[in-house]
């Protein structure tokens, strides 16, 4: 079972991703902001991170950049 983190500011997108992925036996965490994702990644490492690019506050690209700088050993793909 893969642990997947979904980050998107649209609740309907989060719900749709979660529903489909849970049906396929994945462990899914959903968050509504890049800053929440950064907080979670301080103590947890999912197998896959799916993130919206356009979000209020930290964009997906800004979040991606911060994850890469703060956690250089975390494989981003």
Range of the domain at 66: 12-70
Q: What is the DSSP letter of 4?
A: E
Number of domains into which the chain is organized = 1
Q: Is residue 76 part of a domain?
A: no
Q: Is residue 20 part of a domain?
A: yes
For the stretch 6-46, pLDDT in tens is 999 999 999 999 999 999 999 999 999 999 999 999 999 89
Nearest-CA neighbor of 66 among 44, 30, 32, 42?
A: 42
What angle separates helix 60-70 from helix 34-41, to the nearest 10 degrees? 20
Q: Is residue 47 part of a domain?
A: yes
- 40-74 b/e (C-beta count within 10 Å ≥ 16 → b): ebeeeebeebbbbeebeebebeebbebbeeeeeee
Predicted structure pTM score: 0.90
Q: Is residue 46 part of a domain?
A: yes
């Amino acid at each position: 079972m893969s642990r997947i983190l979904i980050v998107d500011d649209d609740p309907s997108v989060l719900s749709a991703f979660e529903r489909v992925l849970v049906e396929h036996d994945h462990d899914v965490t959903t968050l509504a902001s890049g800053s929440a994702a950064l907080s979670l990644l301080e103590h947890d490492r999912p197998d896959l991170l799916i993130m919206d690019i356009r979000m209020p506050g930290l964009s997906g690209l800004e979040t991606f950049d911060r994850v890469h700088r703060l956690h250089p050993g975390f494989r981003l793909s």
